[in-house]
């Protein structure tokens, strides 16, 4: 299942905190998709993904980062 976190317009650490909360509620096979405009978000969320043993994919379009935190192992 895909869980979407819309953190556009919010500055870190808010996107990180919302992603962490979504991960706490997510199942092992869920993918967390964070939409963010803060340029620090990809760095912070990649570190979070590594800490919890999940992969991360980062793309950007029109000033919005799309950070996908993949399913857990």
What does the pLDDT look like over 2-26, one tens digit per residue? 999 999 999 999 999 999 999 999 9
Q: Where are the chain's structural domains?
A: 2-72
30 is catalytic: no
What does the pLDDT look like over 35-58, one tens digit per residue? 999 999 999 999 999 999 999 999
**pTM listed for this prediction:** 0.94
Distance CA 23, CA 9 (A): 21
CATH label, 2-72, candidates 3.30.1330.90, 3.40.50.10540, 3.40.50.620, 3.30.110.40: 3.30.110.40
Q: What is the DSSP string of the chain?
A: -EEEEEETTPPTTHHHHHHHHHHHHS-TT-EEEEEE--TTHHHHHHHHHHHTTEEEEEEEETTEEEEEEEEE-
Q: Which of 12, 17, 31, 43 is catalytic?
A: 12
């Amino acid at each position: 299942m895909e869980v979407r976190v819309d953190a556009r317009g919010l500055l870190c650490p808010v996107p990180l905190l919302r992603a962490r909360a979504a991960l706490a509620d997510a199942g092992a096979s869920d993918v967390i998709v964070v939409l963010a405009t803060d340029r620090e978000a990809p760095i912070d969320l990649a570190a979070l993904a590594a800490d919890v043993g999940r992969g991360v994919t980062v793309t950007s379009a029109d000033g919005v980062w799309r950070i996908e935190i993949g399913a857990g192992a």
